[in-house]
A = this chain, B = another copy of it.
Amino acid sequence: MFTGLSAFPLTPITDDAIDEKAFAVLVQRLAAAGVDSIGALGSTGSYAYLTREERARAARMAVQHADGTPVIVGIGALRTRHVLEAAEDAQNAGAAGVLLAPMSYQRLTDDDAFGLYEDVSAHLSVPLVVYDNPGTTHFTFSDELYARVAALPRVASVKIPGVPADPAAAQTRVHHLRQLLPDTVTVGVSGDALAATGLNAGCDAWYSVLAGTFPEPALTLTRAARSGDASRARAESERLQPLWDLFARYGSLRVVAAAAAHLALTPPHNLPRPLSGLDTDGRAEVAAVLEQLGLSA
C-alpha cells in the first residue's frame, strides 16, 4: 500500500463547509484512474483547518467512495490528544493507514516530536506514514530522528519533502535513508517537481498533490519510473514543468484548487478562509497551463 502512487485530493470547502458532493467526485476519479492509494485529509485536503467532526465525516466519505482503493487519512493536530482522537476516527472510518505530520505552533524539540509519534503509534491498529513537511509544520527532521521514529511500531513509510535535484545526489540520499530505516519502512517522495527524480533514485512511492486532481499524468510518470524507464518518467516530469513552475510560484494547494475549479469539479472558491485562493490573473495562468498540457477537460 505504501508504494506506487498515492493521490492527495482536495477537501473542497464551499460556504465554510465541506462540499461533500464535490469531495465524493474527486475521490471517485482517483479510484477510477487506478491510483495505488488515496491520501485523504493531507495538507492538500486541508486537514489542519477542519473540526474533528468534519474530519471524521470526510474520512468515512473517502473510504466509501474509494471503491476498495486503500485510503490513508491525515491525523495531524497541534495537540497530541487531538491527534489520538483523529486516529480513532480514521480507524473507525476504515482507513487503511494514517499520515502524521508534527504540526507546530510553539517550536517542537526532537524529543517532543518523538514523544508525539511514540504516543500515537502505541494507540494505533493501522500502519502509520511519517509525514515530513517542513513548509507547513515548520519542524525539520534530522536523520537521527527519522531513524528513531521509523523504529516505532506501526511505522510503515516516511514521506520525505523531496530529494536533491541532481540524480546522483538523489540516489545517494535515498540510499542513505535506506540505511537509516528498517527494511519494512518505505520511502515516499513528495514535492511533485522532484517526484521523477525521487522515484528514479529508488523511492518506493510518490505522495502526490498533482495526482489528487490529475491522476493520469501522475500514473504515467510513476509507472514509467517504477518499471525502470527512468527517461520516460523524466520526460513526463519535464512535460509538466509549467505546472511545477506554478506550484513554486503560488504553492501547490492554490494551484490545484484553482485547477479543480477550472475543471468545474468544485465551485470557484474551495479553500477554507482565510485562504482566499488565486486571484483572477493567477486563475487565468492556471487555465492556460492546463490547456497547453491537455489537462483542461
Instruction: List A residues at the B interface (Cβ < 8 Å).
Output: 16, 43, 48-50, 78-81, 102-103, 105-109, 111-113, 115-116, 119, 135-136, 138, 251, 253, 272-276, 279
**What copy number does this chain have within its complex?**
2
- Given known pairs A16-B81, A48-B78, A78-B48, the reply for A275 and B106 (CB within 8 Å) is yes
Whether B251 pairs with A106 at a CB distance below 8 angstroms is: yes
Q: How many Å from the CB of A113 to the closest CB on chain B?
A: 7
Asked if A107 and B251 sit within 8 Å, CB to CB, the answer is: yes
Given contacts A48-B78, A106-B251, A116-B274, could you give 19 more A-B pairs where the C-beta distance is less than 8 Å? A49-B79, A49-B105, A50-B79, A78-B272, A79-B272, A79-B274, A80-B272, A80-B273, A81-B273, A105-B136, A106-B275, A107-B251, A109-B276, A111-B279, A112-B274, A112-B275, A115-B276, A119-B274, A138-B138
Given A103-B105, A136-B105, A253-B106; A274-B48 close (CB under 8 Å) = no
| CB neighbours of A81 from chain B (8 A) | 16, 272-273
Contacts of A78 in B (CB 8 A): 48-49, 272
Chain B residues with Cβ below 8 Å from A108 are 274-275
A43-B274 CB under 8 A given contacts A48-B78, A49-B78, A78-B49: no
